[in-house]
Structure 1
Amino acid sequence: MITKLIEMRFKTELTYAMKLQLEALMQGSRREQGCLQYDIYNHLSKANAIFFVEKWQSLEHLELHRIGPIVFQFKRELGDLIEDKIDMSVAGNG
Structure 2
Amino acid sequence: MKIIQATFYIKNEKREDFLKDVLPLIQSARLEEGCLKYHLYESIEEKNQFVMVENWENQEAINRHNENPLLKQLFANLKEYVEKPTDLTISNKED
Same fold, judged at TM 0.5 (above): yes
The Cα of 1:21 is off from its aligned counterpart by 2.5
The correspondence of residues 4-83 of structure 1 with structure 2, limited to 5 A, is 4-12=4-12, 15-83=15-83
The Cα of 1:89 is off from its aligned counterpart by 1.1
Question: Which runs of structure 1 show a deviation greater than 4 angstroms over 4 or more consecutive aligned residues?
Answer: none
Q: Could you say which structure has the higher strand fraction?
A: 2
In the superposition, the TM-score normalised over structure 2's length comes to 0.80
Kept in 2, the 8 Å contact 1:14–1:47? The answer is: no
Identity, % of aligned pairs? 24
Number of residue pairs aligned between Structure 1 and Structure 2: 94
Greater mean deviation of Cα atoms: 27-36 or 69-78: 69-78
Equivalents in 1 of 2:7, 2:65: separation in Å? 18
Give the aligned CA root-mean-square deviation in angstroms.
2.0
For residue 85 of structure 1, give the secondary structure of its aligned residue in structure 2.
strand
